[in-house]
Amino acid sequence: MKYYARIGILLHQLRMIPLTWLNLSWGSQLLLVTFSYVVGISGLWLLFPPTHNGSSMFLPIVIACWLFRYRGLLTAMVLNGIAFQLTYIFLLRGLLPDQAFVVGGIVGFITSLGLGIIVCWLRAAVDQVRMARQRVQAAEQEQLRIHLQEQQIALAYEQQRKINALKDQFLLNVSHELRTPLTVLGGSLEILHDFGERLDPTTRAQYMKHAIESQEDLAALVDRVLDATEIISDIPGARPEAINVRHFLQDVLTQLKAPEIAAYTIHLQLPDQLMVWADPQFLRQVLHNLFSNIFKYVPTRTEIHIEGVQSKSSSFVNIHIRDEGPGIPADELSLIFEKFVRLKRDIGGPTRGTGLGLYICKQLMEAMGGRIWVESSGQPDQGSCFCLSLPAVTSD
Ligand code: ADP
């Protein structure tokens, strides 16, 4: 910390000391005054023969005046008066030896009065400063409250704006997705309706096939959106198991469509003993989503590298899936895992998607206590690397 910042803190703390003294409870103040009287009177008696002055009584007077202001002064003066009277009586009865006592007592009485008035006046000044400070603090707090309220409103407005933008994006994605199969379905049905009788059986069967395929496409899209909204609104709790990464990935690859997989050269670099804690269903879905993206966005006859690593010091295993596709532009890297986000170049392009796949991957990975992120130079055709991090199964 810089030395002037330290000095600032120290000054601030010093500034607060009198304030804490002002905030003593009534009982503690009374106790303090009583204690100071005990100290003062003891001092007086101890010092009496050699000095015979009442200077030790200044302490209780100062404290009484500081804590109880003019009421304290009045009480102190009455008490001092009584004490003076009693001592005088003792003196008259020959119990005390000093002859200059009366003069000393009167001087002491007047000095105490003067001192008390000054302390009361100081205390009044401090009180005023304190009240002014409290007013300033209250005004500052009010300003802070208003500022926070304004920030909350701005935040709520921004969230609303984002939700609206997401809704627009969703509608755009879905309507784009719907358009192609709907056009094919509508066109095929129209031809069958208008010319069905005149078409030869082979052409008619072909149009029928197109219509059925488009209907299946539509049904699949609706299913995807429904699945996605279900996952978004309610991710079930993960049920982690110890999973051997190599065996699991090999299993997932055999489940994917053979012609699609065959279109890529896949390199697996996964140590045999690499084990993670993961929910098999969740992990399978994440890998399916990542591979279905590769099939959609990465040109065929390219290489895909799948690597698994666990550094000695880490309790996590990282799985890297690197492709040689178009990559992710730098300015969109941080957005890609958000709901309904598709890269600008793919919105309105020929490849269909809802922008939910990676968002779902992120939710599932986090539900398993893991992470997903993407690394890409942002240069076209330098590919992307989707990285998964999952808790490792340790041998102990
Ligand atoms: P969808 O594929 O349904 O659009 P995703 O959430 O799975 O939604 O992906 C979001 C976007 O990320 C995609 O629209 C695409 O633009 C981009 N993307 C995903 N995977 C890759 C990849 N391997 N290479 C290049 N771009 C990708």
Whether 217 maps to a domain, the answer reads: yes
Same domain, 308 and 195: no
pLDDT of residue 222: 84
Task: Name all contacts of 381-386 with Cβ < 8 Å and 24+ positions apart.
Answer: 381/324, 381/325, 381/326, 381/327, 382/324, 382/327, 383/298, 383/322, 383/323, 383/324, 383/325, 383/327, 384/322, 384/323, 384/325, 384/327, 384/328, 385/320, 385/321, 385/322, 385/323, 386/290, 386/320, 386/321
Tens digit of each residue's pLDDT (9 = 90 or more) over 373-396: 999 998 877 899 999 999 999 866
Whether 310 maps to a domain, the answer reads: yes
Same domain, 107 and 172: yes
Whether 129 maps to a domain, the answer reads: yes
Which domain CATH number covers 246?
Answer: 3.30.565.10
**What DSSP string runs through 49-91?**
HHH---GGGHHHHHHHHHHHHHHHHHHHHHHHHHHHHHHHHHH
Q: Whose CA is nearest to atom 16 of ligand 1?
A: 343
Same domain, 171 and 265: no
Same domain, 318 and 346: yes
Same domain, 219 and 358: no
Distance 354 CA to ligand 1 centre (A): 9
Whether 396 maps to a domain, the answer reads: no
Which atom of ligand 1 sits closest to the CA of residue 345?
Answer: 16
Tens digit of each residue's pLDDT (9 = 90 or more) over 75-106: 888 887 887 778 778 777 877 666 566 677 77
396, 322 Cβ separation under 8 angstroms: no
Last residue of a domain, one of 214, 233, 252: 233
For the chain, what is the largest distance between any 2 Cα atoms, rounded to a whole number of angstroms? 146
Last residue of a domain, one of 233, 256, 288: 233
Instruction: Domain count for the chain, please give it.
Output: 2
Backbone phi, psi, residue 175, to 5°? -65, -35
Same domain, 115 and 246: no
Record the tokens describing residue 107, joined without a space: 């001087």
Q: Which of 297, 345, 360, 374 to mutate to test the pocket of ligand 1 (most atoms within 8 A of CB)?
A: 297
Whether 229 maps to a domain, the answer reads: yes
Distance 207 CA to ligand 1 centre (A): 32
Measure the CA–CA gap between 112 and 329, rounded to whole angstroms: 83
Measure the CA–CA gap between 335 and 338, rounded to whole angstroms: 5
15, 36 Cβ separation under 8 angstroms: no
Distance 368 CA to ligand 1 centre (A): 22
Residue (of 287, 295, 289, 224) closest to 259 by Cα position: 295
Residue ranges of the chain with pLDDT lower than 70?
1-2, 11-22, 48-54, 96-102, 231-234, 395-396
Which residues have a Cβ under 8 Å from the Cβ of 217 and sit 6 or more positions away? 180, 181
Distance 289 CA to ligand 1 centre (A): 9
Measure the CA–CA gap between 351 and 341, rounded to whole angstroms: 14
Whether 296 maps to a domain, the answer reads: yes
Distance 374 CA to ligand 1 centre (A): 11
Measure the CA–CA gap between 276 and 181, rounded to whole angstroms: 41
Same domain, 79 and 224: yes
pLDDT of residue 88: 75
Whether 367 maps to a domain, the answer reads: yes
Same domain, 167 and 185: yes
Same domain, 293 and 322: yes
Last residue of a domain, one of 188, 211, 233: 233
Same domain, 154 and 263: no
Lining residues, ligand 1, CB within 6 Å: 289, 293-294, 296-298, 323, 325-326, 328, 336, 341-343, 346, 353-359, 384
pLDDT of residue 117: 94
- Which residues span the domain enclosing 153? 1-233
Measure the CA–CA gap between 54 and 203, rounded to whole angstroms: 125
Record the tokens describing residue 77, joined without a space: 């003066």
Same domain, 12 and 135: yes
Q: 271 by DSSP, 3-state: which?
A: coil
Whether 376 maps to a domain, the answer reads: yes
Same domain, 28 and 151: yes
